[in-house]
Amino acid sequence: MKEKKVRVFTSGSFDLFHIGHLNILEKSALLGDELIVGVSTDELIQHYKGMPPIIPFEQRMRIVSSIKCVTKVVKQVKLTEIAQLERENIDIVTIGDDWKDKYLEGLEWIKQQPGKRVVYFPYTPGVSTTGIKKRIIESTNEIIAAALQREAELDYNWPEDEKK
């Protein structure tokens, strides 16, 4: 008799992909045989975060799907949707521990299912998409000044472009 594969689901925005995103994907993959990842649409992010992502949906889907521990990437139009968890036959849902005391219908549903569970992971210390955005904003003048300096110093007269 064929043994059932354990299917793990996690989801997120995955905007400005960083080491915290990779950590949750790798930790999630270790819990089962297959890792299915829901990537939030631009509209969903706009709805629950109040601002659009920096990286468009199709690019975020492609980035996440290229990670070797990810088995499958699915479009997420609702946060942890029951129908999606059923359709993908999910056994374990992983999520950041900032959701521990918040209500999500799909999390509550999976907790009620025999043999299924939710695993909460702590966030990677010192890294977040919001923190990256803040650092970019705070460093904008330096970033622009350095880019303008590089441009000014470039020699656009490459030897191979010179007339002979």
Phi/psi of residue 7, each to 5°?
-105, 125
What's the whole-number mean pLDDT along residues 11-24?
A: 95
**Residue 5 above 90 pLDDT?**
yes
Across the beta sheet with 92-96, the strand order is: 72-76, 34-40, 7-12, 92-96, 117-121
Domain residue spans of the chain: 5-123, 126-156
pLDDT tens digits, residue range 25-36? 999 999 999 999
Q: What one-character-per-residue DSSP string does 6-38 give?
A: PEEEEEE--TT--HHHHHHHHHHHTTSSEEEEE
Task: Enter the pTM of the model.
Answer: 0.85
The domain 5-123 having CATH identifier 3.40.50.620: the answer here is yes
Residues 10, 16, 22, 23, CA torsion sign: negative
pLDDT at 46: 95
Judged by average pLDDT, the poorest of 41-55, 74-88, 134-148 is 134-148
pLDDT tens digits, residue range 105-136? 999 999 999 999 999 999 888 898 989 999 99
At 99, the pLDDT band (50, 70, 90 cuts) reads confident
Radius of gyration, alpha carbons of the chain? 21
Cα(120)–Cα(28) distance, integer angstroms = 10
Classified as helix, coil or strand, 125 is coil
pLDDT tens digits, residue range 58-93? 999 999 999 999 999 999 999 999 999 999 999 999
Cα(5)–Cα(137) distance, integer angstroms = 45
